[in-house]
Structure 1
Amino acid sequence: METGKVINKISNRLRRRSKKIQESIGISGAKGNILNYILVESENHPVYQKEIEEEFGLRPSTATETLKNLEQAELICRVPESEDGRYKKIVFTEQARKIEHILRKEITESEELLLQGITEEERKEFLRIAEKMLRNLE
């Protein structure tokens, strides 16, 4: 019981902190979280709608609507893949690049807060255990 309470407290405080920063640049809730996700993940691989649906537990119609809103705000665009035009990679626009440093700073500061006093070895072990927990919760 105690572990769950602590995890919820941490999650709530991080969410509030993130929300405050996102609202300061005119982005709200799910849109800000999805932008953060695209920012981080697109550094490692192309990001597609299906991945966002899975990551956030969204129905395709909900993900489509949220991504359309981000497109209308000119923060993302969907670029057809050269091999298969049915797949559209989600990328930041120039407009989003203007606020990227704010989003990146918030993500970096949150990570630093979470990892204070934790060794690299402990962090790796935590990630290994957390991934296993997530698989068990599916």
Structure 2
Amino acid sequence: MRKYKLGLDIEKIDRIISRDMDAHMMKTIDGDKLTVSQAYVIDFILTSQKEDIFQKDLEKEFDLKRAAISLMLNNMEKNDLIKRVPVSEDARLKKIVLTEKSIALSTKIIGAVDEIEHTLVENLTQEEIDNFYTVLNKMRNSLSKRKG
């Protein structure tokens, strides 16, 4: 019987998916002076169910440290892709708002993400996808308990 190495297999598929997604996204946004990570941030903001998106939401979604997200947002702001707007309840909090420039790019970005997602699931049933997420969440929870 084969001894599975789930961590290693997940890492391998992660690299394959990342390379493919990044290459497809780069081809899609080529010439738009936008990084792949910035494209994913725009996609997240556009497709999020939350009304207001804050830096902490991006840190959680992309599992990145505060400094890394802050640097990315600073660059996005310099390139007129986002604005940080204070909220009335707490002047320290700034929601992240897409600019007209990033909204104009959104069709290309969402199309590229959707195309990759379609490729990933095209041979899977809905039940298989649901089971995959059940297992994925159990693994994530196990790792979270180990950290804490």
Taking structure 1 as the reference length, what is the TM-score of the superposition?
A: 0.82
State the AA in 2 paired with 1:8. R
User: Which residue, 32, 50, 60 being the options, matches 2:39?
Assistant: 32
Matching of residue 136 in structure 1 with residue 142 in structure 2: yes
Alpha-carbon deviation of 1:100?
0.8
Q: How many residues align?
A: 136
Alpha-carbon deviation of 1:24?
4.0
Alpha-carbon deviation of 1:10?
2.7
Matching of residue 20 in structure 1 with residue 27 in structure 2: yes
**How much identity, in percent, do the aligned residues show?**
29
Matching of residue 123 in structure 1 with residue 143 in structure 2: no
Query: Relative to structure 1, is the Cα distance of residues 102 and 128 closer, same or farther in structure 2, using a 3 angstrom cutoff?
Result: same
Structure 2: gaps spanning 5 or more residues: none
SS for the counterpart of 2:91 is coil
Alpha-carbon deviation of 1:76?
0.8
Q: In the alignment, is the contact (CA less than 8 A) between 2:42 and 2:106 conserved in 1?
A: no
Q: Which has the larger radius of gyration?
A: 2
Matching of residue 52 in structure 1 with residue 61 in structure 2: no
Query: Relative to structure 1, is the Cα distance of residues 11 and 134 closer, same or farther in structure 2, using a 3 angstrom cutoff?
Result: farther
State the AA in 2 paired with 1:29. V
Deviations 1:3-47 (A, max 9, x none): 333343233222222233233422123323322332232xx0021
Alpha-carbon deviation of 1:62?
2.8
Q: CA RMSD in A?
A: 2.1
Taking structure 2 as the reference length, what is the TM-score of the superposition?
A: 0.77
2:16 equivalent in structure 1:
9
Query: Relative to structure 1, is the Cα distance of residues 129 and 103 closer, same or farther in structure 2, using a 3 angstrom cutoff?
Result: same
- CA–CA distance in structure 1, aligned partners of residues 138 and 65 of structure 2: 24
Alpha-carbon deviation of 1:83?
1.9
- CA–CA distance in structure 2, aligned partners of residues 58 and 117 of structure 1: 31
Alpha-carbon deviation of 1:130?
1.5
Structure 1: gaps spanning 5 or more residues: none
